[in-house]
Amino acid sequence: MVEGVSEGLHDLETALAAMLEGVTAVESESIELAMAHGRILASTLPALMDTPPADNSAMDGYALRAADAGRTLPITQRVPAGHAPQPLAPGCCARIFTGAVLPEGADSVVRQEVVEETSEGAIIPGPLTRGNSVRRRGREMQRGETLLEAGIRLNAAAIGFLASQGYATVPVRRRPRVSLLSTGDELVPPGTPLSPGQIHNSNSPMLHALLSEFGAEVIAAHHVRDDREATVAALADAASISDVVITIGGVSIGEEDHVRAALQQLGTLDLWRLSIKPGKPLALGRIHNRAGGLTRFVGLAGNPVSSYVGAWLFLRPLMGALQQCPAQASLPALRVRAGFETRTERRANYMRVSLTTENDQLVAYAFADQDSSVLRSCVQADALAVIPAWRDIAQGDMIDVLRLQP
């Protein structure tokens, strides 16, 4: 495929299509509900029962027939939540509590604040609408209905919703296994004092965190020195244990950039260099693994902001495709006013912005220093402003932004 790689820059859409071509879902696994937060549901699940399972009271009060309201009714039973009631005779009422099952015959509840109890019984004001303060059986879900669709990310509410239906285990996609390889002899881990010429490896922990948010399991995070053979060995090892191999840095054109050559030795470089800023030298390809298959490869540009933006634009949809999660295919887009001015050249610019509401309108403010080495610009960014190539943007112009939401 190297022959097919154009010297020109590829646009984002072309690169995304190339990366996602032929991607199939990872297997599913059944896991305990308590472990399922953030995971992607692998099958559409039906409601196993009506919820609520029986008509029950929405208030602490008195259950009765609506037709009997407007007089004093003898109290013939007391129904706390969790206890089965007796049938209710006409002309009587039951003391009842929130969540308790309605006695057979009763069709309504009156809350206790408007009822007075005497030795004769409860004085129930009338008239009363049938069904008052009653939560009907099956109001929320009816047995056999679709409870949750395959492909959704299980948030806390979905976990509760599944629990309400009695699901103790759920089928989810297993986490895609990712190896993360940083490159560059200048890098040392945080915690190690810096010698002259060194900087801390910030991209590796950052991408580890982002990949976890995108649903991946980072099974290996290694640092590779700037050496062709070491890079080849690290890529080959990573490809044999991973669904995706990700490298950071070393994909540009300097003599110390060994990643592309190593990739070409072990597999194919499908596409290299994008017409986006930051993140131009991104590389996509495949590595022959020891099982005889091909492992996906994404080479992110090394500048910290290029890595960060590249992860949102490429790793998020890739992890989404592997887990068959449609919501992860693209970042949510909004049209907002620019609170800054800028001019682009031949690359589309993905600027880090924060969004605020002014006069009922969303306004995007860009961080002052948008250089791709300045990670500070990402810390408070809640969106990327997408400024196409060769544009002049003035304050107040309408622009597209992509929200940074996992």
Positions that interact with ligand MOO (CB under 6 A): 277-280, 301, 303, 306, 372
| Residue from the set 153, 258, 280, 352 that interacts with ligand LQZAQKY5 by CB under 6 A | 280
- Dmax (CA) of the chain: 97
Q: 54 CB contacts (<8 Å, ≥6 apart)?
A: 101, 102, 137
Please list the residues that pair with 298 across neighbouring strands: 246, 284
**Distance (Å) of CA 170 to CA 42, 154, 225, 325:** 8, 10, 42, 16
Report in angstroms how near the CB of residue 212 gets to ligand LQZAQKY5 at its nearest: 17
313 binds ligand LQZAQKY5 (CB under 6 A): no
Query: Residue 6 or residue 395: which is nearer to ligand MOO going by CB?
Result: 6
Q: What is the DSSP letter of 216?
A: -
Query: In terms of CB distance, is 289 or 303 closer to ligand MOO?
Result: 303
Q: Which class for 241: exposed (0-12), middle (13-18), buried (19 or more C-beta within 10 A)?
A: middle
Structure tokens at 101: 């099952």
| Other CB atoms within 10 Å distance of the CB of residue 265 | 15
Structure-derived torsion over alpha carbons of residues 53, 54, 58, 60, reported in degrees to the nearest 10: -120
Query: What distance in Å separates the CA atoms of residue 101 and residue 82, rounded to the nearest whole number?
Result: 8
Nearer to ligand MOO, 335 or 346 (CB): 346
Please, what is the minimum distance in Å from the beta carbon of residue 50 to ligand LQZAQKY5? Answer: 54
Spatial separation of the C-alpha atoms in residues 116 and 121, rounded to whole Å:
8
Q: Find the shortest distance in angstroms from Cβ 6 to ligand MOO.
A: 17
Residue 204's binding partner, choosing from ligand LQZAQKY5, ligand MOO, none, with beta-carbon cut-off 5 to 8 A by kind?
ligand LQZAQKY5
Can you say whether residue 242 is alpha, beta or left, with left for phi > 0 and alpha for psi between -120 and 50 degrees? beta
As given in the structure block, the two tokens for residue 317 are 């949809």
CB of 205 to ligand LQZAQKY5, least distance (A): 9
Residue closer to ligand MOO (CB basis): 97 or 272: 272
CB of residue 182 to ligand LQZAQKY5, shortest distance in Å: 4
Which residues in 13-72 contact ligand LQZAQKY5 (CB under 6 A)? none
Binding string, 153-182, against ligand LQZAQKY5, x = CB under 6 A?
Answer: -----------------------------x
For 157, the enclosing helix (H) or strand (E) is helix 156-164
Which residues have CB under 8 Å from 394's CB, separation 6+? Answer: 338, 341
Name which of ligand LQZAQKY5, ligand MOO, none residue 250 binds, using a CB cut-off of 5 to 8 Å depending on partner kind. Answer: ligand LQZAQKY5
From ligand MOO, ligand LQZAQKY5, none, which one binds at residue 186 (CB under 5 to 8 Å depending on kind)? ligand LQZAQKY5
Cβ closer to ligand LQZAQKY5: 59 or 180? 180
| Of residues 57 and 252, the one with the C-beta less far from ligand MOO | 252
State which of positions 358-387 bind ligand LQZAQKY5 (CB under 6 A): 372
Site size toward ligand LQZAQKY5, by CB under 6 A: 26
Name the minimum Å distance from CB 350 to ligand MOO.
10
The alpha carbon of residue 115 and the mean position of all alpha carbons in its chain are separated, in whole angstroms, by: 49
Give the sign of the dihedral formed by CA 258, CA 263, CA 268, CA 271. negative
Per-residue x/- track, 236-275, ligand LQZAQKY5 (CB under 6 A): ------------xxxxxx---x------------------
Instruction: Provide, rounded to whole angstroms, the least separation between the CB of residue 280 and ligand LQZAQKY5.
Output: 4
How would you class 194 by CB atoms within 10 Å of its CB: exposed for 0-12, middle for 13-18, buried for 19 or more? exposed
Q: Which is nearer to ligand LQZAQKY5, 102 or 181 (CB)?
A: 181
Tokens 């129904």, residue? Answer: 79
For every residue of 91-129, DSSP letters joined together read T-EEEE-TTPBPPTT--EEEEGGG-EEETTEEE--S---
Tell me: does residue 202 bind ligand LQZAQKY5 (CB under 6 A): yes
Residue 269 identity = L
CB of 282 to ligand MOO, least distance (A): 8
Examine residue 302 and tell whether it contacts ligand LQZAQKY5 (CB under 6 A).
yes
Q: Which residues bind ligand LQZAQKY5 (CB under 6 A)?
A: 182-184, 186-187, 199, 201-204, 248-253, 257, 278, 280-281, 301-304, 306, 372
